[in-house]
Amino acid sequence: MCGLIGLLCPSPADAEAARPAVVGAMRCMRHRGPDESGTWWDAEVVLGFNRLSVIDIDHSQQPLHWGPPEAPDRYTILHTGEVYNYLELRAELIETYGARFDTDGDAEAIVAAYHHFGPSAVARLRGMFALVIWDSARREIFGARDPFGVKPLYYASGSHGIAFSSEKKVLLELSGSLGNRPRLDHKALQHYLALRYVPEPESMHDSIRRIESGTVFTVTPGGQLVTERYFNPTFRARPVRGEADSERLYGQISDTLRDSVAKHMRADVTVGAFLSGGIDSTALATLAKRHNPDLITFTTGFERQGYSEVDVAAETAAAIGAKHVVRTVSAEDMMANLPLIVWYLDDPVADPALVPLWLLAKEARNYVKVVLSGEGADELFGGYAVYREPLSLAPFERVPGAVRKAMGRVSTKIPDGVRGKDLLRRGALSIEERYYGNSRTFRDDQLRAVLRGFNPRVGHRDVTTNSYRATAGLDPVTRMQHVDLFTSLRGDVLVKADKIAMANSLELRLPFMDSEVFQIASQIPLEEKVTRDTTKYALRMALRDVVPAQVLNRRRLGLSVPIRHWLRAEMHDWARGVVLDSRADELIDRNAVLRLLDEHRAGTLDHSRRIWALLVFMIWHGIFVEDRIQPPIPEPHYPVRL
């Protein structure tokens, strides 16, 4: 899993001067690599790596050098994540090119593939990764990020060079060495409040950006970063004609998922699994148990009725014969842990599930070093309830445009909270206007009331336009899936999966986020994804022989956190204190936020999602801008190799 840092300077003198700063900045991400640390430098480049050892534990230290016989140290690689088909890739390189390998890990396979195949080698990698390769012959850095964006990669440039890192806080530490002063990005803030995350390639600091998912890049000393997208997720449903054709589709889904789980179980340490009461995690745990007879599963839940799947998960664990660990979460846990979690996130993410996920990962790390988790299944197979919205809004499509616009105007006159208002409002809009990802929080009219300097030209279309343009002609559900792949999946779901697991030095593996799984999922026709009765229909049918019947058709609950109730009771005074203590007055209207809290406590309206987004930002601002909040950062100890 690990954490990387790379600094490319315009001159050897700049690199020499920056070396101590690079070594110091690595301490900000010790949690990503508590097992060992290493640095290496060349004339214009300084590279550092914190390692979490999972495969080839006694070898494969990074920065790792590799090259052909005539130049054995030509390349130096930094690679975070896991490439699960590295054994097959190594065998191909040995058989076809006579490639040599000195370790049993995946990093050598990646760099050897780059040598022989060039940038196209990245498309052969099956896994999650962010990588940087220094080519000493060409004096060039080549890098890439995995297709879906599981592993993060930030970059910042300045007069003294360009730096890359797995964590933004590392680049904030290095900002002086780069000759820049990061400032808050107001556009990113407005996007965050609308979407509850900062969309790629933005970050909340204007001079720090992210390499986008599915992208490769090159840069030379003193040169400009050049990027190119190598992966464009394309949904092209194939027609299903008859029962036999449907069964073939289900069989292909089942076979591909079984293969993905088998490859994700490759490790030299124990692999466990997160387990909820849903179909996705249940399938992964059941399949994983076949590879690890001593599988341990982990579940989190809440004492409040209707917000926990603990009992169902426990039944599933017992049915498959897995040892099971439960971590129950309270309102006190939410309040106590949020500041530290926000520090680990780098940028604010207003997803309350972050806290129970944090506590679950922390508990799991007491038992295992790697866990499987079900992120991505909903986006690929059509699992979100909102994907059924086009079915309920279909009658609106037959209404003339002028009438629909009039309906939209009528909806604005209906008070908030009145049943049917939102349906009428959304039915009056085109899909491009109404859907901008599964994580939306503030509408523009709501945002204008709390955000100082609200800019009407900054909106969700900044984020979704390209997705809708790429899916013109496809059905509405598929278009929504494509939007989510480029918005909430990589901005919310995968960010919290990576950041929270790595904060606890835990490697989270996602078998649904696999290129082969996507290949088959992208072919599923609309009628096999959502119906009026269920979601993920094809996946459910494919897993009939894997998932227990009581789980197969359960309503999806997910990690639903009862903040709506807690913000009216146990957490109200705490939330009010966060608002009153915040010094973000030039950005957020404090009185408007207090009014939201009062209205929510009175029970007249549910503002919980919006309040949570504002609270998370205020805590983030207190940490990264005001330097007022200083969470107690754990100090892991591990051998340092400098």
d(CA 294, CA 271): 9
Longest dimension (CA), the chain: 75
* Mean of pLDDT values over 324-342: 96
What is the pLDDT confidence band of residue 641, given thresholds at 50, 70 and 90? very low
Which residues belong to CATH 3.40.50.620 in the chain? 242-383+487-552
Q: Which two tokens stand for residue 637?
A: 């100890």
Amino acid making up residue 184: L
Fold classification of 242-383+487-552 is: Rossmann fold (3.40.50)
Q: How confident is the prediction for the chain on average, in pLDDT? A: 93
So what's the pLDDT on residue 355?
95
Place of tokens 């209707």: 306
So what's the pLDDT on residue 304?
73
Amino acid making up residue 466: N
What's the DSSP call for residue 329? E
Each residue's pLDDT tens digit, 227-242: 999 999 999 998 888 8
So what's the pLDDT on residue 555?
64
Angle between helices 106-117 and 86-97 (to 10 degrees): 50
Each residue's pLDDT tens digit, 54-88: 999 999 999 999 999 999 999 999 999 999 999 99
Answer with the residue of higher pLDDT: 305 or 319.
319
Place of tokens 């340490």: 269
So what's the pLDDT on residue 556?
58
* Residues catalogued as catalytic: 2
Closest CA to 386 of 471, 479, 309: 479
* Mean of pLDDT values over 105-120: 97
Answer with the residue of higher pLDDT: 460 or 229.
229
Each residue's pLDDT tens digit, 136-188: 999 999 999 999 999 999 999 988 899 999 999 999 999 887 878 899 999 99
d(CA 600, CA 428): 28
Is 639 a residue whose pLDDT tops 50?
Answer: no
So what's the pLDDT on residue 640?
37
Which residues belong to CATH 3.60.20.10 in the chain? 3-229
CATH of 3-229, one of 3.10.20.30, 3.30.70.141, 3.60.20.10, 1.10.3720.10: 3.60.20.10
Q: Which pairing describes strands 208-210 and 296-302: parallel, antiparallel, or unpaired? A: unpaired
So what's the pLDDT on residue 638?
38
Q: Which pairing describes strands 215-219 and 226-229: parallel, antiparallel, or unpaired? A: antiparallel
